Structure 1
Amino acid sequence: MSDSRPTLLLVDDTATNIDVLVGILRDDYRLRVALDGITALKIVEQSPPDLILLDIMMPQMDGLEVCRRLKQDPRFAEIPVIFVTALGEVEDEAKGLAVGAVDYISKPVNAAVVRARVATHLNLFSQAQHLESLVQKRTSELEQTRLHIIQCLGRAAEYKDNETGYHVIRMSHFAHRLAKAAELPEHFCSLLLNAAPMHDIGKIGIPDQILKKQARLDSGEWTVMRQHPALGADILGQLDSELMQMASRIALSHHERWDGNGYPNRLKGEEIPIEGRIVAIADVFDALTSERPYKHAWSVDDTLAQIASERGRQFDPELVDLFLPLEPELVAIRQRYQDNQAVAQGQRLG
């Protein structure tokens, strides 16, 4: 049967002091010992304990330095450290607490005090971990709800257009994969995955007779259609969050062109935000490889050839060079998020 008792690490350069602590604590806890700070750190690295009782005055590396190093390592920073030392001045205690210790016991130790302090801080540590678990669970639930709302916002625009049900999901994954290929920071890539589905939200403000027109738009209609990036940026830019601000920039810039002939602001080259340049490629790739009421789906090879032909004109040339080799992953994403038969027959996903 496994021993479920908490594990304590006892650190002191004097074996007699270790023996005293072992005699006090061995009935209630699993114990590990170290006679110096360097060994203590190695033990923590191999098998982190639930609590550490740590002497201050030790050769080579004193207890203050051991505690400082533990608190600087995110893996071990939350382990409670109680100093057990003959240093008894107020300033000594203050130094110990300043480096991250939770308590301070003076030598010679009192058995009842040691047991009480250890039990108290193990309970506090356990409660803190439980609360952290609850917070993480709640945060995850809120994140899932937020992402669902974001996808719904993206699909809301599709009800006004001829897009298919999984377009916003596919293109957001294409964009995410391209961002990773560009070696952009992980946090940026995650934001992009969640912001990209809202790129066309501005189409909500475009009249149906323009969005759903089967024939070519005339110049006046194109003028109205080209308002949707600014409308989307206005809708999304009202919220002062990192995610919504990125979504707003994407909405405003994903129809800009590398050569400066895009809209609405005729931005050129790196004037276009990197997230807008990425989504421009992902959006076109999914649009061309998807069937619409007014066109057949292009093959992946033909679509990639078209994107390559627009290298340095419509699209950022460096991003195109990174996108083309991703073909196997792009195909896998398309297969994972295929539009169902109902959508293919003209119905919309809810």
Structure 2
Amino acid sequence: MELAHDFNRKPIVLIVDDSPDNLLLMANLLKEGDKYVIKVANNGEKALRIAQADPPPDLILLDIMMPGLSGHEVAQVLKAEPRTRDIPLIFLTAMASTADETRGLEMGAADYITKPISPPVVLARVETQLKVKAAADFLKDKSDYLEQEVARRTLEVLAIQDVTIHAMASLAETRDNETGNHIRRTQYYMKVLAEHLRDHPRFRHFLDDETIKLLFKSAPLHDIGKIGIPDRILLKPGRFTPEEFEIMKTHTTLGRDAIAHAEQQLGMDVDFLRLAKEIAYGHQEKWDGSGYPEGKAGDDIPISARLMAVADVYDALISRRVYKDGMPHEDATRIMVDGRGTHFDPDVCDAFLACIDQFQAIAARFADSDHDMAQKAVALQFISGSE
């Protein structure tokens, strides 16, 4: 990435005066030494056209008393427009009173020179203002460069973060009887629920734009703890024994602890990891307190976990597995409604019902293919046969 300003080119000086003699005098004076590119304008309108063109002048020497637009009016236009406001102006005029000079400087002029001029003084002041302008351009370009570099690096970090999250989540999914599309579906279900509830009195304190983005980012880690569950339990096609179920329930704690460990390694608190811990640990809790791992009830369950509970259960009901067919949407919806106020936060369940068309669209968009299911079946058969 290069800085925008070319510091090797000659500075451009625009001279504005309605007198041909004055234009010739100033042009010849500034041409000495071949240090500058000189442009001239004999009226205010032409001066504005040159100032607004590419490349813009680095300095403008501006007469005040001109027919048409006066120097004051030209200065007002230049200072009002973002493109030209930073071009330094030097008023070069016969208006020599203190009040005139004060007015010119108050209008934003960098300097004020009265006629008749002293050539050495004019040259010195022009050179001074161009040095100031060059330094300001350098600092501005450096600042713009740093801003762009920070933005680029931030995008890189976010992209790496997203890839890492999905890699971790997909690793857990490869050991589960679910497919990677389950990650995507629950992620988008969560987003739909959160956006629907963002203005709800019970949730608006929590569901702002940034939090909804973080929920979407952290949702794929909800079952990361399953990577610590033995295959004989995780891939079992039938019902768990009570002992097996107790082991399976530990995936919530394993997930939270794995994310907490990653956070400790970073040495700082990270918002999306905080939400990921809540979701991983609490998404199996139930509104009536009959869930796990802590048996929390009602508003004691984090909002993030309550949203995931609805997303996760709905997806589990409608999804095919190697040992079962997916449930028809209508049947799954009836089960979700039956769980309102027992399994699910009533308001979150109502949001699900209000957004049911969006849920179905997400399910269709990220549907499991026959190839996905065949791969899972082969993996399950291999693991089952090896034990």
Contact 2:322/2:376, CA 8 A, preserved across alignment: no
Aligned to 1:249: 278
Residues 181-192 of structure 1 correspond to what in structure 2 (within 5 A)?
Answer: 181-183=196-198, 184-192=207-215
Within the alignment, does 1:29 sit opposite 2:56 as a pair?
Answer: yes
Taking a change above 3 Å as real, the CA distance of residues 126 and 260 of structure 1, as seen in their structure-2 partners, is same
Taking a change above 3 Å as real, the CA distance of residues 231 and 35 of structure 1, as seen in their structure-2 partners, is farther
Aligned to 1:336: 365
Within the alignment, does 1:160 sit opposite 2:175 as a pair?
Answer: yes
Taking a change above 3 Å as real, the CA distance of residues 105 and 50 of structure 1, as seen in their structure-2 partners, is closer
The one of 112, 127, 140 aligned to 2:127: 112
Q: Shift of the alpha carbon at 1:237?
A: 1.3
Q: Shift of the alpha carbon at 1:165?
A: 2.0
Taking a change above 3 Å as real, the CA distance of residues 50 and 123 of structure 1, as seen in their structure-2 partners, is farther
Within the alignment, does 1:229 sit opposite 2:256 as a pair?
Answer: no
Give SS of 2:180's match. coil
Q: Shift of the alpha carbon at 1:50?
A: 6.3
Q: Shift of the alpha carbon at 1:34?
A: 8.4
Aligned to 1:281: 310
Contiguous gaps of at least 5 residues in structure 2: 7-43, 61-70, 90-103, 114-121, 199-206, 264-268, 378-387
The one of 231, 238, 256 aligned to 1:215: 238
Aligned to 2:330: 301
Contact 2:78/2:84, CA 8 A, preserved across alignment: no
Letter in 1 for 2:230: P
Letter in 1 for 2:257: D
Query: Which whole-Å CA distance do the structure 2 matches of 1:288 and 1:336 have between them?
Result: 17
Query: Which whole-Å CA distance do the structure 1 matches of 2:74 and 2:354 have between them?
Result: 54
Within the alignment, does 1:346 sit opposite 2:375 as a pair?
Answer: yes
Letter in 2 for 1:139: T
State the TM-score, normalizing by the size of structure 1.
Answer: 0.71
Aligned to 2:195: 180
Question: Which whole-Å deviations, capped at 9, do the CAs of 1:298-330 have from their partners, x for residues lacking one?
Answer: 223332232122111111111111121212222
The one of 216, 222, 231 aligned to 1:199: 222
Q: Shift of the alpha carbon at 1:36?
A: 12
Aligned to 1:150: 165
Give SS of 2:240's match. coil
Taking a change above 3 Å as real, the CA distance of residues 180 and 38 of structure 1, as seen in their structure-2 partners, is farther
Query: Which whole-Å CA distance do the structure 2 matches of 1:332 and 1:113 have between them?
Result: 66
Q: Shift of the alpha carbon at 1:245?
A: 1.7
Contact 2:288/2:343, CA 8 A, preserved across alignment: yes
Which 4+ runs in 1 deviate beyond 6 A?
33-41
Query: Which whole-Å CA distance do the structure 2 matches of 1:146 and 1:34 have between them?
Result: 55
Query: Which whole-Å CA distance do the structure 1 matches of 2:140 and 2:239 have between them?
Result: 67
Taking a change above 3 Å as real, the CA distance of residues 119 and 221 of structure 1, as seen in their structure-2 partners, is same
Aligned to 2:25: none
Q: Shift of the alpha carbon at 1:35?
A: 6.4
Q: Shift of the alpha carbon at 1:337?
A: 2.2
Q: CA RMSD in A?
A: 3.6
Taking a change above 3 Å as real, the CA distance of residues 201 and 115 of structure 1, as seen in their structure-2 partners, is same
Contact 1:86/1:107, CA 8 A, preserved across alignment: no
Query: Which whole-Å CA distance do the structure 1 matches of 2:294 and 2:75 have between them?
Result: 62
Query: Which whole-Å CA distance do the structure 2 matches of 1:39 and 1:321 have between them?
Result: 57
User: Could you tell which deviates more after superposition, 193-202 or 131-140?
Assistant: 131-140
Query: Which whole-Å CA distance do the structure 2 matches of 1:273 and 1:37 have between them?
Result: 59
Taking a change above 3 Å as real, the CA distance of residues 53 and 157 of structure 1, as seen in their structure-2 partners, is same
Q: Shift of the alpha carbon at 1:154?
A: 1.1
Question: Which whole-Å deviations, capped at 9, do the CAs of 1:142-184 have from their partners, x for residues lacking one?
Answer: 2112111101111222222211121111101110121111111
Q: Which has the larger radius of gyration?
A: 2
Contiguous gaps of at least 5 residues in structure 1: 7-18, 56-83, 88-102
The percent of aligned pairs where both chains have the same amino acid is: 31
Contact 1:157/1:204, CA 8 A, preserved across alignment: yes
Contact 1:167/1:286, CA 8 A, preserved across alignment: yes
Letter in 2 for 1:192: L
Question: Which whole-Å deviations, capped at 9, do the CAs of 1:175-207 have from their partners, x for residues lacking one?
Answer: 012111111111101111111101111111111
Query: Which whole-Å CA distance do the structure 1 matches of 2:260 and 2:84 have between them?
Result: 46
The one of 282, 297, 305 aligned to 1:268: 297
Contact 1:214/1:294, CA 8 A, preserved across alignment: yes
Question: Which whole-Å deviations, capped at 9, do the CAs of 1:231-265 have from their partners, x for residues lacking one?
Answer: 11111112032221211111110000011111000
Taking a change above 3 Å as real, the CA distance of residues 37 and 86 of structure 1, as seen in their structure-2 partners, is closer
